[in-house]
Amino acid sequence: MHGFTVLGIETSCDETAAAIVRGPPPGPGEILSNVIHAQLDHEAYGGVVPEIAARAHVEMLDGVVERCLEKSGIGLDKIDAIAATAGPGLIGGVMVGLLTAKALALSTRKPLIAVNHLEAHALTARLTARVDFPFLLLLISGGHCQLMAVEGVGRYRLYGATIDDALGEAYDKTAKLLGLPYPGGPKIEVLAAQGRAKRFPFPRPMLGRAGADFSFSGLKTAVRQTVSELAVPVTDSDKADIAAGFQAAVLDVLRDRTRTAMQKFRTEFGNTNDECNFVVAGGVASNAAIRGALTDLANQEGFALHVPPAALCTDNGAMIAWAGVERLAAGLTESLDFAPRARWPLIDLRPLNEFAK
């Protein structure tokens, strides 16, 4: 069974992306094409500028979709549905992608699928390797940090979330404090491998507390205070040691919070003899040190860890297309008046599904 073939469009932040994916849930699926245009204009500003991002999506998206179709070797007539990120994200960019998808759906008379960007990240592990429901999800990205039980498409149970900064945001802000160019997260990872983590004993917010919530603002503040107390200019050695100390604190927090969520998940969905599924998704999941720490934790707690390839952890069209496949298989499509959303928590998906057309 080949399943469905879906064109997916992603424009929620600063990547203009489109992909065509084929397959039946629960996967794995086949990526027929995956085209990404990364915007570089934001580096000069130290972060993504929404107006610049939206303008770039307008200029680039048609060409990206055209290249996506060419690379796949199939035409729009062979597509079963058109999917696009409908939120959450920078609203200008989301509008560009969703309006383009609506135009394609209208002109081809194909179903429209409005995809929640976070659900697309959550389901990517099923695109790359079959992962049955339910599974525990750690979603870590520039804008989100959540631990959830995933019971099915559109069915999420929140265990914990950040009460302030997202993990990716904490990485980028720490990089900015060290004078590193945007995007800073990958550069912190490289520096951390060269530094001495024990030189700066940074705090571990929320460590040992009940529940599975996160907090990273105090860690970021500690980095700022450390940088201000060092002699100017801060040396490369100082930067490496700060990066190493910061990442060591992050790993301790992730292990602690995730272990709590694993225990709760096992109580609700498994037993002591089951090997439960654990999925890590989002852009920060491409960090090798984080992958290593969570691999060790999963082994200790009896969970099977599933992390998509690094190229599919960051924003891309393939994850949107696959989420479209999953939702189409579940009979979930939208009318052409579906409105884009700047905010769209995963826990809000379930009531929408109950009334989906």
Cα 165–Cα 97–Cα 341 angle in degrees, nearest 5: 45
pLDDT at site 51? 84
pLDDT at site 42? 52
Residue 345 tokens, joined: 């928590």
Asked whether the bond before 308 is cis by omega within 30 degrees of 0, the reply is no
**Range list of β-strands (E), the chain:** 4-10, 15-23, 30-38, 81-87, 112-116, 135-140, 145-152, 155-161, 276-281, 303-306
Instruction: Report the alpha-carbon distance of residue 210 to residue 278 in Å, rounded.
Output: 20
Q: How many CA atoms lie within 13 A of 161 on its CB side?
A: 11
pLDDT at site 210? 93
pLDDT at site 142? 85
pLDDT at site 273? 64
pLDDT at site 348? 84
What is the set of domains in the chain, with CATH numbers?
Answer: 4-126+312-354 (3.30.420.40), 133-310 (3.30.420.40)
pLDDT at site 181? 86
Which helix (H) or strand (E) element contains residue 349?
helix 349-354
Q: How far is CA 290 from CA 107, 163, 190, 246, 353, in A?
A: 44, 20, 13, 12, 33
**284 within 8 A of 184, measured Cβ to Cβ:** no
- Supply φ then ψ for residue 83, to 5 degrees: -115, 145
**At which residue do the structure tokens 């999917």 appear?**
83
Low-confidence ranges of the chain (pLDDT < 70): 1, 39-47, 271-273, 350-357
pLDDT at site 143? 87
| pLDDT tens by residue, 308-356 | 999 999 999 999 999 999 999 999 999 999 999 999 999 888 645 444 4
pLDDT at site 45? 54
Asked whether the bond before 183 is cis by omega within 30 degrees of 0, the reply is yes
Contacts of 282 (CB under 8 A, 6+ apart): 121, 139, 140, 141, 144, 168, 313
